[in-house]
Amino acid sequence: MTGFPARVLPPVVTGLAVALAATAWTGVLTGPRWWGFVVLTTAVVVVAGVLLHWLRMPPIVVAAGQLAALTGLVTAVFTSSGWLVVLPGPAATAQLWALLARAAQQVRTGVPPVPESTELLCLVVVAVGLVAIAVHTLAVSAAAPASSGLVLLCVVTVPAAVSERLLPWWSFTLSALGFALLLAVDSRRRQLAWGESAGSGGHIGAAPAAVAVTAGAIVVALLVGATVTAVGTGRSASTGTGLGQPGSGIGLNPFTSLRGQLSSGDVVALFRVRGLGQRAYLRALTLSRFTTRVGWQRGPLDGAVSAGDEKTERLPLPPGVSTPVPGSTLQVRIEPINYVDNLLPSYGYPLALTGISPDWNYDPDALTIFSNHRQRAQPYTELGVLPAPDPQLLRAAGPAGGAPFTTVDPRYLDAAGVDRRVEQLAIRVTAGTHTAFDATVALTRWFTQPSNGFSYDLRTAPGSSGDALVDFLFTGRRGYCEQFASAMAIMLRTLHVPARVAVGFTPGTVTDGSRLITTDDAHAWVEAWFPGAGWLPFDPTPLSDGRTVIPDYVAAGPTSPGTPLPAGPPASGTATPVPDALAAAPPHPSVGHPGLGVGTRIGLSVAGLLGLGVLAGLIPLGVREGRRRRRLHLVGAGGPQAVSAAWEEVLAESADRGVVPPVGETVRATAQRLAHEHALDEPGRAGLRTLVGAVERSWYASVSPPRPSDTSTSNTDRELCAAVDAVRASLARCAPPSRTALLLPRSVLRRRP
């Protein structure tokens, strides 16, 4: 591995390693196009790196050139307003930022595997390009391929962190193979650099050593993976093999951004409930804080009291709840099976808990029982009440935003930053209602009414607005329970109805006189606050399997929930028409070149990058010509700088032809070297002798040079001009430069000592 292959092979292997590691994303993205973009991106980065290394550029220039090539590729493929197709101007930059913002939103809201939208393809190209540049810098420029393994590991761990499924074995194998190739190529390079002893008694070859290191890393990774909980599922991994079998335990991970983390893989039993006489939701926690483009989060647990203290005879009711609470009392026995968490689920309003340890606390406002650490709770008994207020009493509270609703904590009304279209939509859906309760029921029925086009699906439709809430309500209308609950809760807040999201479980399945609750029952719904009744559940998710609970006060609500909106998206997948009053938002910039396919845009990007390469190649040529003209002008003008300029030009001509005298060599020794290396003829050698004499007189003479007006000075200047011309002409005859030397002059590109 010498010469040109030795310079090309390491960059090619780095690109191959990145591309092989990216196969781990097969569980995150659907379709084949994204893999083509991965190959194209790594190829662009590799080619740019090879060319810049061939020009002997320093590592920082190589990385900057690769970044410029990546920018040109992204601009050409994903924008429609790049200068010369590949140069990002202000308009193209704005398009790219909008694309990446929408891609980030899709990452937060999508459930893997997600469709390969334009936004996600752009994100893939940017991410793969940056990773390829980093790996190239570490493995090639810094000659530290082992360190680049950390970057490649990040490529593999990203899909493991967002997907419910394990990485496919073949992807893991290919990723390890790419890293092994990196180590093998670097090991071979070092052996060639150090030399191998002919009489050595044997050594471990490059490939076996790399394979041994990689195999050891795989074994360690598998051991860790077998003993540590799974990554990226939103839960701890359960080791149980069936319902009712104990395992390591599963706990809820509260979603924050509509990502569907309550969906499950294998069905695992979590609780067995005895004594529940009616269907009800088992609440684990509530989410009260909403942040635009981030999602729902759990609020502070400030008013907590000990829930397991034997001295606590009765737990407090939530603020604003009148006594006695209208509803039905219950006494249930809850037996955790595979559930391990710091949240302890309960029904309705818990009044007393027995059988739990003293380190469990209860916040009556959040209706959350929690501990400071994850633990497996023992079977416990809850005495509580399921609120069932009279709908007429709820209507008596009056319209939303009225005086009775001002006593609730303001955080339950916070809707800051929500898109104005969402508020207008909520107003239209609830048009014709006169009370906060009727508006809440109207919103619930709007989501669950089939004619409005909403459907339950663990895979969401890709959006384009950059706002998951807007995409769900106006274009997708397909999602999971978190999205429905999140959308309804924030719409209620825009109507000045206190609302939040509850996370827990549906009633489960009746078996042997008890209810079995599994991971399939994980669910989210809305809780709205009404004076005197407190927090009441409302479920907007249109489940068709009968798992939802419709309270009596919802079933007895108004039958005309106001003016309905147009039906949901047509079967063809086109967007739902948005009413004129809601279409005030400006359109987003178009993506890519209108009317051009992906293949055409890629062709344009390649052509544009080649054009940039040509322009970049002309820059050194222009610099060389500028320096030549300046020096020859100084020689022709005479004066104190003429001799130095003449000598510098002759040295530059020699450097362009590959001969650079060593630093510290005398003028005469350098002249002899130039005459010998370039095989100069007699006119050239004579001109070189004249030039050497002029240089020595200029550098070492003790007398001051004569004034320019003297006749001797004029003669000297003419002799100097003739000598330089003779040397340059002899070089052109005896050592003509190659085309590469003309286009890429080494006197400009070489590093200065």
Percent of the chain with pLDDT over 90: 25
Which residues 6+ apart lie within 8 Å of 480 measured at CB?
111, 260, 262, 263, 456, 457, 458, 460, 541
Tell me the HSE value of 347 on the side-chain side, using a 13 A CA sphere: 28
The answer on pLDDT for 192 being more than 80 is no
The answer on pLDDT for 602 being more than 60 is no
Cβ count near 699 (within 10 Å)? 11
Backbone phi and psi for residue 30, each to the nearest 5 degrees, phi listed first: -100, 160
The answer on pLDDT for 339 being more than 60 is yes
Q: What is the DSSP letter of 473?
A: I
The answer on pLDDT for 445 being more than 50 is yes
The answer on pLDDT for 427 being more than 90 is yes
CATH number corresponding to 392-501+523-582 = 3.10.620
User: pLDDT tens digits, residue range 106-122?
Assistant: 676 555 666 677 888 88
Tell me the HSE value of 98 on the side-chain side, using a 13 A CA sphere: 18
Q: Which strand (E) or helix (H) includes residue 515?
A: strand 514-518
Bridge partners, 269 (sequence order): 518
CA nearest to 589, candidates 102, 107, 114, 115: 102
For residues 25 and 431, which has the higher predicted lDDT (pLDDT)? 431
Gap between the Cα atoms of 487 and 479, Å rounded: 11
* SS3 state of residue 33: helix
Gap between the Cα atoms of 180 and 175, Å rounded: 9
Place of tokens 């948005």: 578
Q: Are 518 and 270 in contact (CB under 8 A)?
A: yes
Place of tokens 């047509």: 570
Tell me the CA distances in angstroms from 152 to 16, 64, 176, 217, 418, one per residue in order: 11, 20, 10, 13, 38
Bridge partners, 83 (sequence order): 87
* SS3 state of residue 351: strand
The answer on pLDDT for 467 being more than 70 is yes
Mean pLDDT of the chain, nearest integer = 77
Decide the pairing of beta strands 514-518 and 289-291: unpaired
Gap between the Cα atoms of 735 and 680, Å rounded: 8
Decide the pairing of beta strands 478-479 and 455-456: parallel
For residues 482 and 201, which has the higher predicted lDDT (pLDDT)? 482
Percent of the chain with pLDDT over 70: 72
Residue 538 has a pLDDT of: 96
Tell me the CA distances in angstroms from 474 to 329, 487, 563, 568, one per residue in order: 41, 11, 16, 9
- Predicted confidence band at 588 (pLDDT cuts at 50, 70, 90)? very low
The answer on pLDDT for 332 being more than 90 is yes
- Predicted confidence band at 748 (pLDDT cuts at 50, 70, 90)? confident
User: pLDDT tens digits, residue range 537-549?
Assistant: 999 999 877 788 9
CA nearest to 67, candidates 750, 580, 609: 609
CA nearest to 137, candidates 125, 148, 124: 148
Which residues 6+ apart lie within 8 Å of 97 measured at CB?
none
Structure tokens at 383: 């005495």
Mean pLDDT of 497-518: 92
Could you tell me the end-to-end alpha-carbon distance of the chain, in angstroms, rounded to an integer?
Answer: 28
Gap between the Cα atoms of 273 and 518, Å rounded: 11
Cβ count near 295 (within 10 Å)? 22
Residue 620 has a pLDDT of: 73
Residue 608 has a pLDDT of: 53
Neighbour-count burial of 617, counting CB atoms closer than 10 A to its CB (0-12 exposed, 13-18 middle, 19+ buried): middle
Among 235-239, 249-253, 527-531, 565-569, which is the least confidently predicted range?
235-239
pTM greater than 0.85 (yes/no): no
Q: Are 342 and 307 in contact (CB under 8 A)?
A: no
Q: Which strand (E) or helix (H) includes residue 290?
A: strand 289-291
Q: In the chain, where are the structural domains located?
A: 3-193+207-227, 269-389, 392-501+523-582, 622-749
- Predicted confidence band at 511 (pLDDT cuts at 50, 70, 90)? confident
Gap between the Cα atoms of 425 and 495, Å rounded: 10
Tell me the CA distances in angstroms from 284 to 275, 341, 375, 454, one per residue in order: 19, 10, 14, 26
Cβ count near 610 (within 10 Å)? 11
Gap between the Cα atoms of 215 and 213, Å rounded: 6
Q: Are 315 and 364 in contact (CB under 8 A)?
A: yes
Q: Are 438 and 391 in contact (CB under 8 A)?
A: no
User: pLDDT tens digits, residue range 367-410?
Assistant: 999 988 888 889 999 999 999 999 998 999 899 888 888 888 89
DSSP per-residue letters across 655-701: HHTT--PPTT--HHHHHHHHHHHTT--HHHHHHHHHHHHHHHHHHH-
Among 203-207, 329-333, 376-380, which is the least confidently predicted range?
203-207
Bridge partners, 585 (sequence order): none
The answer on pLDDT for 256 being more than 80 is no
DSSP per-residue letters across 117-168: -HHHHHHHHHHHHHHHHHHHIIIIIS--HHHHHHHHHHHHHHHHHH-SSPPP
